[in-house]
Every structure is written in C-alpha cells, then in structure tokens.
Structure 1
Amino acid sequence: MILMKDIVREGHPSLRKKAKEVKFPLSTDDRKIAEDLLQYLKNSHDPDFVEKYKLRAGIGIAAPQINSSKRIFALHITESEGNPISFIAINPKIVSHSVERTYLTAGEGCLSVDRNVQGYVPRYTRITIKAFDLEGNEFKKRLKGVASIAFQHELDHLNGVMFYDHIDMNDPFKEIPNSTPLERE
C-alpha cells in the first residue's frame, strides 16, 4: 500500500526524468505498481483510511511520483454529474485535442508538491487518449473537464514536467486566450 512517505516530493530527480515505456505482458512489479497507484487514489477518498494513514486526497498519481520511471498512471475522479472515472493508463498518449483551452480557477495541486502554487495552468478542454490496460489491451477514451485536466497533469509527470512549469510566473493569473475557466467542486 502506498503511503504519503512513499511519494517523492518536488526536487526529487525522478520527477524530472522522462519515464520509460512499459513492455507487455506486464512484469509482476509493473502490475503491482499500477494497481497500487489506483488503490492509493481510492484510499485517499475514504475518510477512515485518510485519518488512519494521514493520506492526502488525490485524483491522479503517476509512477514517477513513487520513484518508478515507468509510463504508468492512475486516475480516480468522482464528478457531480455522470459516472466516476477510474482507470489505470499504461503507455498513455493524447491522440487529438481541442483548440479550446481550460484551466482550474483554484489552480492545480499535486501529491508531490507540499506548497500551494498560485496561478492558472492552461490545458486542452477536450482530449482523445489511447492507453493500455493491465492485460495489454489498448483502449481509447474521450475526456473533458476535470478528467481532461487530470490526464494532462499525469501525462506531464511521465515526461518530467511539473504543473507549475505551465504557469506564467511573471503574471500567474494572466488571462488564457481561447479558454473557459473551470470551477472544481
């Protein structure tokens, strides 16, 4: 089980490295990493687990955040409308995206960043993604809103990019052209 002590923090070299593609069939270790990432997110939304293990809530976590340079991440999002979005993505990529941008008005956070970083992080409003599941089956999804933002945030982790790299530090709340702000409940 992943705990907060297992999540590396900003400044750790694994957060700035481009992660390696994963080979199929998955090794026992790679499968465990993938399953543990998703389980952490589920546990981080369970008040009993949060209190007992002092977990920070998350909607996404990538393998480099637990010091594993693999192209694996998990998302677990409960949105007010629609079904929860919960999946493991192995060797994920964005195959198309909208021209329109969005950003979270409250800014983004990260389990590897222990400070509040102010500013707008521009993201694509809608994306179409491809990735592989634990069995090596390719799947395709269309994501929008918070799910789209979270996918892009985690994909950045696989490429050694932190969310605050996208913020204009000279003007953190500068208007983002062709964008619609998004409020997170």
Structure 2
Amino acid sequence: MYLMKDITRDGNPVLRKVAQKVTFPLSEKNKKLADDMMEYLVNSQDPELGPKYGLRAGVGLAAPQVDESVAMASVLVPNLEDPDKIDLQMTLINPVIISESVQITALGEGEGCLSVDKDIPGYVPRYNKITVRYDDFEGNSQTIRLKGYPAIVCQHEIDHLNGHLFYDKINKKEPLKISDDAIIIE
C-alpha cells in the first residue's frame, strides 16, 4: 500500500518528464502499479483509513507521482453534491485528450496536488468538456467524454504524464484572474 512517503514530491525530475507509453500485454509490474494507485485513492478518501495511515485525500494519482515514468493514471472522483456517490473511477492507460470545449472552467478553491506540499492559490484554467482516448487493461483503445469536475481531474492527471504541474497554468501576475465567461466550480 502506498503511503505519503511513497508520493514523489515537487522537485523530483520524474515529475517534469514525459512519461513512456505503456505497452501490451500489461506487465505484472504495471498491473500492480494500477492496483496500488487506485488503492491509494480509495484508502485516502476513506474516513477511517485515510487518517489512520496519514494519507492526504486524493482524487487522482499519476504514475510519475509514485516515481514511475509510465503513461498511467488512476482517478476516483466523488460527486460534489453527494460525496457518497462516485462520478468516475478508472485507470487511464496512455490517455490523450482528443477534443476539448471552448468553454473554460476552474475550481473556485484552486487545485491541489499530492506531489505539491504547499498551497498555491490561483485559478487553474481547464476545458469544461473533454474527450479522452485511452487504452483499457487489455490494450483496446477506448474513448470517454467528461465534463466539469471529472474533466478537471483527468486534465490534471494527464498533465502529470506530460511533465506539467497544475501551478504551471496559473496566471503568474494575476492568479485570481480568469476569463469572464469561465465556469467556476465551487
């Protein structure tokens, strides 16, 4: 089981590398990686296990965040209105955004990251709707359309696979400035 000590922190070069494409059939190492990343997310959101093991709650975890430079990310996105419901739970292998909306969105409270230990205020502009092409565990190409919070989470994780961190997208001079027609998710 991954613990906070296993999470790669900002400053480690692996977080700034473009992750290697995953090949199929999946190796046992990559199957375990996928299982372990999802297990971390499930445990971190559990009201008993998270505090017991000192886990910061996470909604996404990309392989570079556990020091593996492969194109794989797990997401476990709770519903913002009803945290007992899950909007998205999956592992994306070799994900690529193939289309996005013109409409921009951002989280009102800004974004955080398990790999970034400090709070960095500011809007992180994201596309409100995206279509992602990814491989499933058998290596079959799949697509999924996402909107709102799940779309934001997947964009954050795909950024990790391309060597980008959320704060790279914040307006450096005016961190709380975003387009007037942006959708702010509270």
Distance in 1 (alpha carbons) for counterparts of 2:92 and 2:104: 23
Note the alpha carbon deviations across 1:9-53, whole angstroms, 9 max, x for none.
Answer: 110111000100000000110111111111110111112211221
| Counterpart residue number, 1:122 | 125
Between the aligned partners of 1:177 and 1:21, the Cα distance in structure 2 is 37
- Whether the 8 Å contact between 2:76 and 2:86 is mirrored in structure 1 is no
Aligned residue number for residue 37 of structure 1: 37
Deviations 1:74-94 (CA, angstroms, capped at 9, x unpaired)? 000110367531000000011
Q: CA RMSD in A?
A: 1.2
Which of 138, 143, 146 is equivalent to 2:149?
A: 146
2 CA distance for matches of 1:106 and 1:115?
14
Structural mapping, 1:16-31, within 5 Å: 16-31=16-31
Q: TM-score, normalised by structure 1?
A: 0.95
Is residue 50 from structure 1 mapped to residue 68 from structure 2 by the alignment?
A: no
Q: Is the 8 A contact 2:60 2:73 kept in 1?
A: yes
Kindly provide the amino acid, as one letter, of the partner of residue 66 in structure 2. I
| Corresponding residue SS for 1:90 | strand
Superposed, 1:1-185 pairs within 5 Å as: 1-79=1-79, 80=81, 83-183=86-186
Encode CA deviations 1:85-108: one digit per residue, 9 max, x unaligned. 100000001111100100111000
Q: Secondary structure at the match of 2:30?
A: helix
Look up the SS of the partner of 1:128 in the other structure.
Answer: strand
- State how far apart, in whole Å, the 1-side matches of 2:117 and 2:86 are: 30
CA distance in 2, matches of 1:39, 1:65: 14
Gaps of at least 5 residues in structure 1 are none
For normalisation by structure 2, the TM-score amounts to: 0.95
Which SS does the other structure have where 2:48 is aligned?
A: helix
Which residue identity lines up with residue 154 of structure 1 in the other structure?
Answer: E
Moved more, 74-83 or 10-19: 74-83
- The percent of aligned pairs where both chains have the same amino acid is 48
Higher mean displacement: 14-23 or 41-50:
41-50
* 1:109 CA displacement: 0.3
**In structure 1, how many angstroms separate the alpha carbons of the residues matched to 2:124 and 2:38?**
24
After TM superposition, give the deviation of residue 177 of structure 1 in Å: 4.8
Q: Which amino acid is 2:146 matched to?
A: L
Secondary structure of the residue that 1:47 maps to in structure 2? coil
What's the secondary structure of 2:45's corresponding residue? coil
SS of the aligned residue for 2:102 comes to coil
In the alignment of these two chains, the number of paired residues is 183
Report deviation, 1:138: 2.1
TM superposition outliers: structure 1 runs of 4+ over 2 Å: 80-84, 175-178
Structure 2: stretches of 5+ with no match in the other structure: none
